Amino acid sequence: MKKYLTLIAAALLLISACEFDFTPKIDSGPKLFVKCVAMNDSICAQVKYAAPSSDAQKIQNVSAAHLELAVNGQTFSIDLDDNGTGTAIKQVKEGDLISINAGMTGLNDVYGYTGMPGLPEISDVKVENNVLIDSISYTVLHLKTDRKPDPDDYYAVHIIEERTMTFPDTLIVDTTFVRAMIQSGDDGVPEFASLNDNNGLFPFIKAPVILFPASAFKHNECALSLLSFGFIFPDMTLRSRYKLLVSKVSEEFYLYSMSLYKSSGDILATLGLAPPQFAWSNIEGGLGFCGALATIETDWYE
Amino acid sequence: MRRLGEKIALLVLLLCAHPAFGQNTEQNEMRDTLEKATISALQSDTRKHNTTQTGLIRLNPEFLKSSAAVFGAPDLIKSLQMLPGVAAGNELMSGMYVHGGDGTDNLFLLDGVPIYNISHFGGLFSSFNTDVVNSLDFYKSGFPARYGGRASSVVDVSTKEGDLQRFHGSISIGIADGRVQLEGPIVKGKTTFNFGYRRSWLDLITRVGLSIANKGSSNKVDAYSFMQDLNAGITHNFSDRSKLRANFYWGNDKLKAGLTSADAVSLALNIKWGNMLASAAWDYRFSKNISSTLTGYYSKSDSDIGYDVSLSQYVMADDIISDIKDLGLKYDFSWFPHEKHHIRFGAEAKHKWYDFKGFQSGNGSNIRMEAGNEMALYAEDEMFLLSSLTLNAGLRYSLIATGSKLWHSIEPRAALKWRFSNNYDIRASYTRMSQNEHLIASSYIDLPTSCWMPSNEEIHPVISDQVAGGIYMRPVKNLRLNLEGWYKTMDHLLSYKGANSLFPPVANWEGNFSEGKGKSYGMEAEIGWDAENFTITAYYTLSWTLRLFNEMYPGWFYDRNDNRHKVNLLGTYRVGKFEFTANWTWHSGNRITLPSNVLDDGTVLYDKPFNSSLPVYHRLDLGINYKDTFRNNSHFTINLSVYNAYNRKNAYFAYLTPSSGGKAQGTAYSVIPIIPTLSLAYDF
């Protein structure tokens, strides 16, 4: 009986599952892709040729592209390497307006701007360890500020974990947790993005990062939970300590990061069964983003 | 080509509004209709056959039963999907995107009561049992003032009242479901009942299959799903002036999947969702010229998604529960003050509950409970201005109170008909509609994870404005020719922008939706030939549907259901005891979003939404009915249906695959093959 059922199921699968190729007509053209991230002491920029996906052969070298940056209207040029990337050493302070202008023969000039946020005011970090069940634990990091953050602020927190296990030898492992989450906010859990690496957003470090709005703070405290898997054996000692890179990011930085986060792995949208993926952009005439972040590094906490 | 099409659509609109078409007039039509309507005010509104409205299609049960019998089960929504101006969305689902609507903006009324969950099995079957349906009025434009609350269409379904003289019924058995319908007198000539029940039995197949598979295994798998619904109605005639109707509908779906292993691990998923409607309507005729209907109703749509996980001594269980409930009262009047006026007026008041409780995460609240009150007043006058000119002018005022927010809406409605000969008329209409409720869903799939929420301080009701016009002709006795055009705008549309998840974040839903605009325009053509033994109808739609959501893209873009061309051919041929039906549908592919650009490192970028299309969609459905009658006048029908008769591989979804040559290559998947089904029906 089982054999017949298997045969029937296989026959049904053969009839129904059908993959075929087609040539889509895509409404798109070549554009400049610009990524500009301003930090307290430097501005990183990247210019790329974004070929239409209907004909990726048309990718062109961007060495001929020109790029102009400005801080509060004072312009300066930046040299791009072969990858179209360049860094300008420049002190940027809270409230400064950073703008970018780029162009390339045959393509539209593109333009974008952002405002520099102030440094985050983290006064204390408390670590709370919990065990959920045998192999699953979660750690809560309580971030405290001196005053309630401005509702229009956005944050990015890189979490660097150093886990020391002694069983029977000492082993040090970095960042074992699988996902960082926001626990609560003034009006419930706000929308946040949890990325296991940078997605190329942050020029200075590769580590798990969580982005969230100021509404994740309940009064002046924000609780981040880190979910970890790992067996704890009877003779084993385990010690974790954490260091955070806390950034206040511009709204443009936050919106672009969130759109990348939402579109990554959105299977339903990829299959056309959910609203479409889109990358937020503040680059007029092109693609990409211009954003800013101000970062502080905390001590180690355990 | 696109400009030419736009010009044609514009020309149709202008043509429809041009007064030079007037020729002969029909003096008696209005008086005949008026007399009939006055005489049988409590029976049926015969003037619907000679409507002033544009965009109205009346379907009868025979049409519903003879078309689109997927799995041998006639389906009301699938029948509507074949009509011009309606895009169906995903194949085999219950999507209805009317004149560029977003699919959540159709008002479904069952005996005058709003019904929210219109499908079973995630859209495979509609919630309407065609065995008990008496008639269906489907409005795409020219909405009379008595309807309100949705932005794009009205589907007004009325069920049978039951036979006052004779007991009869039917039993039907299909490959996927079984149905029974009974009607007859309780007190002959006075009181009657109508009853319908249907249930799917795919779960019997899966249960038998799994019990065989589980035999001898330490791990037991249990999975099944079924749907059922029940319609019941009682009508009592107190006199020829007074009648009371009580109707009840209950329908639900259940899906269960579970695993139990020998080492004390068990996983269970239980999903159930459905509707319950109850109403009582009292029809009373005050005089020859005034009649009224007082209706009280309760409508509830709910869902419950539960999981239960046991891992050794650890047990985790939770539920997502959501529901929407209406408790309403409405009073509708029909008044003929003068032979040239038919005035309808009325009021409706309802209290609504919107409740949601999601899975708990962290310390955050995941509960949202809202309540609101809605009130509407309307008046419309069907005026016979000249013997050939009819105007239906109306106004609807609605007041919506949710929390501390009050929303007012004044909605003018007007429809004009100029009959310039017995067989030719032109019509034009303008309507404004508003919609207070929003479906909170993160995908286009009809899932019980979605729920309804009302407008509030942050979210504005949807407003639609539509002008439509058409020419309606019967140049010879058997030939029907209709041409209709429309232009529609929609404000305050919502589009989900939250993180990808089958579970939309309802507790703080406002921040997860973008607000935008929409517009749609196009033309529909119908040509049909009705003969004694056969009927053939061809529909063609040429349309454009666009959206503007600045958060997604800084300009207008085509909507997902922007099917530029749509053709439907429907044919029925009767010979002896056989009836042959054929439905062929063809339309431009649904639009999809593919990466617009690619960087040198292979990174793909998205820009304009819905920037490409799936391949064209087409399929042929065939059916054969064999009908025979027994001596006692009962008869049986054997139906053989073939869905997608030539096994067309229609793309259900697609994605872009990199190609070595650099040229884009799309890969598409089709999931619905040829589906032959057999069903039997016995009418007694």
**Omega into A168 within 30° of 0, i.e. cis?**
yes
Q: How confident is the model at residue B444 (pLDDT cuts 50, 70, 90)?
A: confident
State whether residue A253 is helix, strand or coil: helix
Residues within 8 A of B (CB atoms), A 82-101 only:
none
State residue B171's pLDDT score.
94
State residue B26's pLDDT score.
36
Q: How confident is the model at residue A135 (pLDDT cuts 50, 70, 90)?
A: low
- Picking from A53, A224, A226 by the largest number of B CB atoms within 10 A of its own CB, the best residue to mutate is A53
State residue B119's pLDDT score.
84
Residues within 8 A of A (CB atoms), B 128-187 only:
none
State residue A282's pLDDT score.
92
State residue B43's pLDDT score.
32
The torsion defined by the Cα of A182, A186, A188 and A193, in degrees rounded to 10, comes to -30
Closest CB to A56 among B606, B662, B666: B662
**Dihedrals phi, psi of B12, to nearest 5 degrees:** -60, -45
Q: In which domain, by residue range, is B38 found?
A: 2-683
How does pLDDT run across B456-489, given as a tens digit for each residue? 988 999 999 999 999 999 888 899 999 999 999 9
Q: How confident is the model at residue B139 (pLDDT cuts 50, 70, 90)?
A: very high
Please give the mean pLDDT across all residues of chain A: 81
For residue A186, pLDDT over 60 is answered with yes
For residue B35, pLDDT over 60 is answered with no
Q: Where residue B243 sits, what CATH number does that domain have?
A: 2.40.170.20
Greater confidence, B592 or B15? B592
Mean pLDDT of all residues in B431-450:
88
How does pLDDT run across B382-396, given as a tens digit for each residue? 999 888 899 999 999
Mean pLDDT of all residues in B6-25:
39
State residue B336's pLDDT score.
94
For residue B13, pLDDT over 70 is answered with no
| Residue A168 to chain B, least CA–CA distance (Å) | 29
Could you give the angle at the alpha carbon of B235 between the alpha carbons of B232 and B237, nearest 5°? 175
| Residue A3 to chain B, least CA–CA distance (Å) | 11
| Residue A38 at interface with chain B, using a CB cutoff of 8 Å | no
User: Are B311 and A133 inside 8 Å of each other by CB?
Assistant: yes
Reference B447, options B109, B7, B132, B124; nearest CA is: B124
Q: Among the listed ranges A149-158, B67-76, B410-419, B646-655, which one has the minimum average pLDDT value?
A: B67-76
For residue B149, pLDDT over 80 is answered with yes
Q: How confident is the model at residue B662 (pLDDT cuts 50, 70, 90)?
A: low
Distance between CA atoms of B414 and B395, rounded to whole angstroms?
8
Nearest residue on chain B to A134, alpha-carbon basis:
B314
Greater confidence, B506 or A36? A36
User: Are B600 and A21 inside 8 Å of each other by CB?
Assistant: no
How does pLDDT run across B153-164, given as a tens digit for each residue? 999 999 999 999
State residue B1's pLDDT score.
44
Does domain A31-115 fall under CATH 1.10.340.70? My reply is no
What ipTM was estimated for this complex?
Answer: 0.80
How does pLDDT run across B566-596, given as a tens digit for each residue? 999 999 999 999 999 999 999 999 999 888 8
Residues of chain A positioned with their CB less than 8 A from the CB of B668: 19-22
Angle between helices B202-214 and A2-16 (to 10 degrees): 130
Please give the mean pLDDT across all residues of chain B: 85
How does pLDDT run across B38-86, given as a tens digit for each residue? 333 333 333 334 577 777 888 877 777 766 566 667 788 888 998 999 9
For residue B633, pLDDT over 90 is answered with no
CATH number, span A122-249? 2.60.40
State residue A56's pLDDT score.
67
State whether residue B561 is helix, strand or coil: coil
Residues within 8 A of B (CB atoms), A 122-181 only:
133, 181
| Residue B511 at interface with chain A, using a CB cutoff of 8 Å | yes
Query: Any idea where the domains of chain A sit in the sequence?
Result: 31-115, 122-249
State residue B29's pLDDT score.
39
For residue B10, pLDDT over 60 is answered with no
How does pLDDT run across B401-437, given as a tens digit for each residue? 988 889 999 999 999 999 988 889 999 999 999 999 9
Q: Are A246 and A123 in contact (CB under 8 A)?
A: no
Reference B87, options B444, B378, B501; nearest CA is: B444
How does pLDDT run across B81-116, given as a tens digit for each residue? 989 999 988 877 788 999 999 999 999 999 999 999
Tally of structural domains, chain B? 1
What's the predicted TM-score (pTM) here?
0.84
Q: Are B377 and B411 in contact (CB under 8 A)?
A: no
| Residue B212 at interface with chain A, using a CB cutoff of 8 Å | yes
Residues within 8 A of A (CB atoms), B 365-394 only:
365-366
How does pLDDT run across B339-353, given as a tens digit for each residue? 899 999 999 999 999
State residue A138's pLDDT score.
77
| Residue B500 to chain A, least CA–CA distance (Å) | 5
Closest CB to A5 among B209, B655, B663: B209
Q: Are A55 and B663 in contact (CB under 8 A)?
A: yes
Residues of chain B positioned with their CB less than 8 A from the CB of A18: 649, 669-671, 673
Range among A76-80, A82-86, B351-355 with highest mean pLDDT value: B351-355
Q: How confident is the model at residue B37 (pLDDT cuts 50, 70, 90)?
A: very low
Residues within 8 A of B (CB atoms), A 190-209 only:
190-191, 193
**Dihedrals phi, psi of A220, to nearest 5 degrees:** -120, 30
Nearest residue on chain B to A182, alpha-carbon basis:
B362
Q: How confident is the model at residue B298 (pLDDT cuts 50, 70, 90)?
A: very high
Report the percentage of chain A scoring pLDDT > 70: 78
Element (H, E) at B214: helix B202-214
User: Are B500 and A287 inside 8 Å of each other by CB?
Assistant: no
Q: How confident is the model at residue B8 (pLDDT cuts 50, 70, 90)?
A: very low
Distance between CA atoms of B128 and B94, rounded to whole angstroms?
12
Residues of chain A positioned with their CB less than 8 A from the CB of B364: 183-185, 188-189
User: Are B605 and A52 inside 8 Å of each other by CB?
Assistant: no
User: Are A24 and B656 inside 8 Å of each other by CB?
Assistant: yes
Reference B81, options B471, B461, B568, B409; nearest CA is: B568
State residue A81's pLDDT score.
84
Closest CB to B609 among A15, A54, A278: A278
Q: How confident is the model at residue A200 (pLDDT cuts 50, 70, 90)?
A: low
User: Are B209 and A269 inside 8 Å of each other by CB?
Assistant: no
Distance between CA atoms of B163 and B638, rounded to whole angstroms?
25
User: Are A275 and B594 inside 8 Å of each other by CB?
Assistant: no
| Residue A112 at interface with chain B, using a CB cutoff of 8 Å | no
User: Are A268 and B507 inside 8 Å of each other by CB?
Assistant: no
State residue B267's pLDDT score.
87
- Picking from B206, B214, B500 by the largest number of A CB atoms within 10 A of its own CB, the best residue to mutate is B500
Residues of chain B positioned with their CB less than 8 A from the CB of A17: 669, 671
State residue B443's pLDDT score.
84
For residue B506, pLDDT over 70 is answered with yes
For residue B15, pLDDT over 60 is answered with no
- Picking from A15, A18, A261 by the largest number of B CB atoms within 10 A of its own CB, the best residue to mutate is A18
| Residue B270 to chain A, least CA–CA distance (Å) | 22
Report the percentage of chain B scoring pLDDT > 90: 54
